[in-house]
Amino acid sequence: MATSVHSDDDEEKVEGPEPGEDGYWPALEILNERKRDYLVLWDGTDPETGKAWEPSWTSKTEVTEDLIEVWVAKKAAKKKKNRRGVLDSVWVKDKC
């Protein structure tokens, strides 16, 4: 499912996918986050190299809600899985 990231025309041009007519770049998912940015995996390929675009850090204010919702759900599922794994390891008795 491709979602998108808003293009701010006032920002300095960076090498990467071109925004669509609606001013949004096509994005596949958020891979990571830090205080003010998300690491975004872009949809499509570089026409010069034929390779997928490299993920890049993008301001949280430029990422659309649908992409953020998927990221939040992904983090919650991972946290739940990790919590379950930690509990299992705490409650498993040593069989030796």
Question: What pLDDT score does 52 carry?
Answer: 93
Question: What pLDDT score does 93 carry?
Answer: 41
Domain of 41 in residue numbering reads as: 3-7+17-91
**Per 3-state DSSP, what percentage of the chain is helix, strand, and coil (rounded to 5)?**
30, 30, 40
Domain count, the chain: 1
pTM across the whole model: 0.67
Residue 34 lies in a domain: yes
Q: Which residues of the chain have pLDDT under 50?
A: 1-2, 10-14, 87-96
CATH number for the domain including 40? 2.40.50
Residue 51 lies in a domain: yes
Question: What pLDDT score does 63 carry?
Answer: 93
Number of H helices, E strands in the chain: 1, 4
Give dist(CA 76, CA 59) in Å, integer.
Answer: 21
Residue 12 lies in a domain: no
* Backbone φ, ψ for residue 66 (5° rounding): -65, -40
Residue 65 lies in a domain: yes
Residue 39 lies in a domain: yes
Question: What pLDDT score does 77 carry?
Answer: 85
Residue 56 lies in a domain: yes
Residue 96 lies in a domain: no
